[in-house]
Structures are given as structure tokens and as C-alpha cells.
Amino acid sequence: MIALALRIGRFPPTGEDLPVSLTTQKVGEDWLWRRNFAGHLTQSRLSYDAGWNCVREQIGGLTIWIRPVWRQDRLGIEVVRMKICGLPCPKALLPQSFSFEWQDAQGRFCFDISARLPWLGSLIRYHGWLTRDHEGSAQP
């Protein structure tokens, strides 16, 4: 079941100490995030959903509604709602997020992303930090 969920979301295979890069692009009111985990590309589209007052992220066949929450000087992420291939996921089966983002003393963007499926176990887990390689230029 977990392997199927990972395939539907187009998540990368398990690995350790992988190089990671992230590029973002604004498209209309949405943001495209492209994550590269050692050559495995995972793309998602993020937008604000006013009806749910949270962020909607489409990643592969998954649509996840997430709400940022400030916890212990870090930004936490709560999963509010999810659809799998367009079908609503029952609330009791929603992934439980144990994800945090913060800025460390060196100014790096740090992340510790973790989610579990009730009764099944760990779904995803990755952690690390990013630095800005360069700034994009403003477009007229």
C-alpha cells in the first residue's frame, strides 16, 4: 500500500546522502516546485485554496491540502485533506505529518519532512538543508 502511494505521488526511491536541488517558478497564481533527488525529478504545483484556507499541493496523482502551523520556532505542516487520483481520502486515513522547516544560524533553509500512514507506518522521510545558488532576475 505504501509503495503504491509513493508511485502515485512520483516520490523518489529510498537513498542516503543524496544531492538535492529545488527550483521554483511562479505560474499565474500558482508555484511550480521541481525537486531533483540525485536525478529523480519530483514536481508539484502549489496554490492557495481560499475555501479551505490552506495550501493545495498537486504532486503526481495526489492532491494534498496542507496548513502551515508555527511550532517551537519552526514552521510545521499539517495535512488537512487529500485526494488520490481525484477520490477523497477518508479523514481517518490521512497521512500524519511530522514535518518542519526553519532557518539555521548559517542562514540555510532547513527541512525535516516526514509523514506516516495510520496503521501502515512511514510513508516518506527526508531531511537536510538548501542554500541559494543564485537569484533569478526580475522580468519586465
Cell, residue 8: 502515485
Contact 46, 57 (CB under 8 A): yes
**Residues in the chain with pLDDT < 50?**
137-140
Looking at the chain, the whole-number percentage of residues with pLDDT higher than 90 is: 51
Give the Cα separation of 7 and 101 in Å (integer).
25
Vertex 71: Cα angle to 66 and 75 (nearest 5): 50
Domain ranges of the chain: 2-12+24-130
pLDDT digits (tens, 9 = 90+) for 56-95: 999 988 999 999 999 888 999 999 999 989 999 999 989 9
pTM: 0.81
